[in-house]
């Protein structure tokens, strides 16, 4: 066992003394040491329930003959960090989390890991660590939040708070309604109710084979989640004893399965960044083109918020990820999982309880998958759009550019009614390097929807979008402005053409004019010159590579 390094031999007398001081017994020294990387936090609603899950995982490890050690991980709530400078830290925290798991696991020679996670950048950070370390691992995602209720209507975070901001500004809702939405939209713990980034990543984690069957959609309030946590504790000891390593599960075919699931569900565009980064840690080449190729051959068979009107609780009661696997079996690879069952076996055993929530392949919500990758002279290295959340009218769009060099400028213009129909908002210098941190743009996109402009205005950015974004919003434009990408030299009034079916994003300029502007461009001074974000900006790659640190 890896842990023998710190617990066997004469030279380890001081090490054993320290371990005994934690309450271990001599018998414990013969057992596998299993770390529980817990991202419990009183600050993150998706993580406040984790104390009980930690106990369930511990009990499972004890029952199976292992020794559990809980250690903490940082966590940021994207919803609370949204719309201000705090969001600069969100994506950057993904790398911190991966580094923290690596540091603790290797410094203490742990034999295996259970990673207790839930929210947007925390789950991919944990998965990056799993791929990097390649020691036996199981991931437990803490579960989705229940929908809220107000006057008989189901509520969720994005539609009923972020999009309500514009309605409040316009005077379309009363003070009483505002207060009621604030109190009722998020009724308790859990990851936000729609198919936003957190829940999408939970679904992809299960599809990759790193979570037990049913984990992704099991709601935070259910005893089912406690049982899954307990069984995950038991399972990790089995994986350690059999030396079943993540690299036997995280194959290229497994990543193709995850992308197929993502497209079928219509998940968050952030998953492109995260799957690229996790694949990189696993040593797997995963070109950006793979996402679009799979999307064009995978129908979108669920319609969860923000694209549709179903929620994670509906997907859970329809059969969860195993039921979606059953639908997709012909398009999936038969890969191993931590369950000890293959993907095909899980799919065969699944039941589909609602034919509308999880539609047949021949009756999809959309013929293609959730995400499209666009290229053109504005995005030579690619850009990303959630095409299933775009109306048919806006799949083709031409408009005049209105340029902003940060998110705050754009939000102020929208709130003050300065954005007119036919505009293409350009928000730049918000990429991984230029932000720094590649902020999500949920505030401006929600304002556009709330003001009724989603069928008349488009938004493009080298930043990114929340999984809750809907409308013609194109992000991850690469190269980013701070690296001298074409988005840096757009001028107000330039015509921009968006053609999602043809995968095109173009600025209507001659090559000579565009090249002249690029040649004259000068890099701006960094926005942040000290602390972690300053170091991050110097090391981070472009979005088309997953915004990894190089």
Give me the CATH number covering residue 319.
3.40.50.2300
Q: Which helix (H) or strand (E) holds 382?
A: strand 379-386
Instruction: Tell me how far apart the alpha carbons of residues 124 and 495 are, in angstroms, rounded to a whole number.
Output: 37
Alpha helices, DSSP H, located in 134-174: 157, 164-170
Instruction: Tell me how far apart the alpha carbons of residues 347 and 350 are, in angstroms, rounded to a whole number.
Output: 5
Active site members: 466
**Residuewise pLDDT in 10s, the chain (550 residues):** 999 999 999 999 999 999 999 999 999 999 999 999 999 999 999 999 999 999 999 999 999 999 999 999 999 999 999 889 999 999 999 999 999 999 999 999 999 999 999 999 999 999 999 999 999 999 999 999 999 999 889 999 888 888 888 788 878 888 889 899 999 999 999 999 999 999 999 999 999 999 999 999 999 989 999 999 999 999 999 999 999 999 999 999 999 999 999 999 999 999 999 999 999 999 999 999 999 999 999 999 999 998 899 999 999 999 999 999 999 999 999 999 999 999 999 999 999 999 999 999 999 999 999 999 999 999 999 999 999 999 999 999 999 999 999 999 999 999 888 899 999 999 999 999 999 999 998 889 888 888 888 899 999 999 998 877 888 999 999 999 999 999 999 999 999 999 999 999 999 999 999 999 999 999 999 999 999 999 999 999 999 999 999 9
Q: What are phi and psi of 113, to 5 degrees?
A: -140, 140
105 and 238 together in one domain: yes
Nearest to 130 by CA among 92, 97, 107: 97
176 and 197 together in one domain: no
Residue 326 makes CB contacts below 8 A (sequence gap 6+) with 319, 347, 348, 350, 351, 352
For residue 359, the model assigns a pLDDT of: 98
Residue 361 falls within a domain, yes or no?
Answer: no
* CA 432 to chain centroid: 16
475 and 380 together in one domain: yes
169 and 289 together in one domain: no
**Count of domains observed in the chain:** 3
Residue 13 falls within a domain, yes or no?
Answer: no
pTM: 0.95
327 and 466 together in one domain: no
39 and 132 together in one domain: yes
408 and 480 together in one domain: yes
- Give the position of tokens 């030396």: 243
For residue 466, the model assigns a pLDDT of: 83
Residue 255 falls within a domain, yes or no?
Answer: yes
Give me the CATH number covering residue 432.
3.50.30.80
For residue 127, the model assigns a pLDDT of: 98
Q: Identify the domain boundary among 184, 199, 233.
A: 184
Q: Identify the domain boundary among 317, 349, 381.
A: 349
Parallel, antiparallel, or unpaired: how do β-strands 148-150 and 153-155 relate? Answer: antiparallel
Parallel, antiparallel, or unpaired: how do β-strands 137-141 and 112-117 relate? Answer: parallel
Instruction: Tell me how far apart the alpha carbons of residues 54 and 75 are, in angstroms, rounded to a whole number.
Output: 16
For residue 469, the model assigns a pLDDT of: 81
Residue 451: domain span: 372-545
219 and 89 together in one domain: yes
Residue 404 falls within a domain, yes or no?
Answer: yes
Nearest to 281 by CA among 121, 124, 494: 124
Residue 366 falls within a domain, yes or no?
Answer: no
Residue 360 falls within a domain, yes or no?
Answer: no
- Give the position of tokens 């660590």: 129
Instruction: Tell me how far apart the alpha carbons of residues 197 and 438 are, in angstroms, rounded to a whole number.
Output: 15
Instruction: Tell me how far apart the alpha carbons of residues 179 and 164 are, in angstroms, rounded to a whole number.
Output: 11
**Range 166-202 burial, b when 16+ CB lie within 10 A, else e:** bbebeeebeeebeebbeebbbeebbbbbbbbbbbbbb
For residue 171, the model assigns a pLDDT of: 86
61 and 162 together in one domain: no
Cα-based distances in Å from 319 to 217, 350, 354: 9, 7, 8
* CA 1 to chain centroid: 33
Count of C-beta atoms within a 10 Å radius of residue 348? 13
Cα-based distances in Å from 327 to 2, 211, 219, 447, 536: 41, 20, 22, 36, 41
177 and 63 together in one domain: no
Q: What's the distance, Cα to Cα, between the start and end of the chain in Å? A: 32
199 and 324 together in one domain: yes
Residue 365 falls within a domain, yes or no?
Answer: no
Which 3-state string (H, E, C) describes 419-484? CCCCEEEEECCCCCCCCCCCCECHHHHHHHHHCCCCCCCEEEECCECCCCCCCCEEECCCCCHHHC
Residue 519 falls within a domain, yes or no?
Answer: yes
Nearest to 464 by CA among 381, 383, 364, 348: 383
For residue 453, the model assigns a pLDDT of: 87
Q: Identify the domain boundary among 166, 184, 202.
A: 184
488 and 519 together in one domain: yes
Parallel, antiparallel, or unpaired: how do β-strands 379-386 and 396-404 relate? Answer: unpaired
Contact 215, 118 (CB under 8 A): no
Structure tokens at 131: 């791929």
């Amino acid at each position: 066992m890896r842990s023998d390094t710190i617990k066997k031999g004469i030279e380890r007398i001081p090490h054993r003394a320290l371990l005994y001081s934690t309450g271990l017994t001599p018998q414990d020294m013969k057992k596998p040491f299993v770390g529980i990387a817990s991202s419990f936090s009183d600050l993150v609603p998706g993580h406040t329930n984790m104390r009980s899950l930690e106990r369930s995982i511990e009990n499972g490890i004890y029952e199976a003959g292992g020794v559990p050690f809980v250690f903490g991980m940082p966590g940021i709530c994207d919803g609370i960090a949204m719309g201000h400078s705090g969001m600069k830290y969100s994506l950057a925290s993904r790398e911190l989390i991966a580094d923290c798991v690596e540091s603790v696991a290797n410094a203490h020679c742990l034999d295996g890991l259970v990673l207790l996670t839930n929210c947007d950048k925390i789950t991919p950070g944990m998965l990056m660590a799993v791929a990097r370390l390649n020691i036996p691992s199981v991931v437990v995602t803490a579960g989705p939040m229940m929908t809220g209720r107000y006057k008989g209507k189901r509520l969720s975070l994005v539609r009923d708070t972020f999009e309500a901001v514009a309605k409040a500004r316009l005077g379309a809702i009363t003070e009483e309604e505002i207060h009621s939405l604030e109190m009722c939209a998020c009724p308790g713990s859990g990851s936000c109710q729609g198919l936003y980034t957190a829940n999408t990543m939970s679904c992809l984690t299960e599809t990759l084979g790193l979570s037990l069957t049913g984990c992704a959609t099991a709601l935070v309030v259910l005893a089912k989640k406690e049982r899954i946590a307990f069984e995950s504790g038991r399972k990790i000891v089995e994986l350690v004893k059999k030396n079943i390593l993540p690299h036997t599960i995280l194959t290229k075919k497994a990543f193709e399965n995850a992308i197929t699931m993502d497209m079928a569900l219509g998940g968050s565009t952030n998953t492109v960044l995260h799957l690229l980064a996790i694949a990189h840690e696993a040593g797997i080449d995963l070109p950006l083109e793979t996402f679009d190729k799979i999307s064009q051959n995978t129908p979108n068979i669920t319609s969860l918020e923000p694209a549709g009107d179903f929620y994670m609780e509906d997907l859970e009661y329809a059969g969860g990820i195993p039921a979606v696997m059953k639908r997709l079996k012909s398009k999936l690879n038969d890969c191993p999982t931590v369950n000890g069952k293959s993907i095909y076996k899980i799919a065969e055993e699944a039941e589909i309880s609602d034919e509308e929530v999880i539609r047949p392949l021949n009756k999809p919500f959309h013929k293609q998958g959730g995400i499209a990758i666009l290229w053109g002279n504005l995005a030579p290295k690619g850009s990303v759009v959630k095409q299933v959340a775009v109306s048919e009218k806006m799949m083709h769009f031409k408009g005049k550019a209105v340029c902003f060099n940060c998110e705050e400028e754009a939000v102020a213009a929208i709130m003050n009614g300065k954005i007119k129909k036919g505009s293409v908002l350009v928000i730049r210098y918000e990429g991984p390097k230029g932000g720094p941190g590649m902020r999500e743009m949920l505030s401006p996109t929600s304002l556009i929807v709330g003001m009724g402009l989603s069928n008349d205005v488009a938004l493009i950015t080298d930043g990114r979008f929340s999984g809750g974004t809907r409308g013609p919003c194109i992000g991850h434009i690469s190269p980013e402005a701070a690296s001298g990408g074409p988005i840096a030299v757009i001028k107000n009034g330039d015509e921009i053409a968006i053609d999602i079916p043809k995968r095109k994003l173009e600025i209507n300029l001659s090559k000579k004019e565009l090249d002249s502007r690029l040649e004259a461009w000068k890099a701006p001074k960094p926005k942040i010159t000290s602390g972690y974000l300053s170091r991050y900006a110097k090391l981070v790659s472009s979005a088309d590579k997953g915004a990894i640190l190089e």
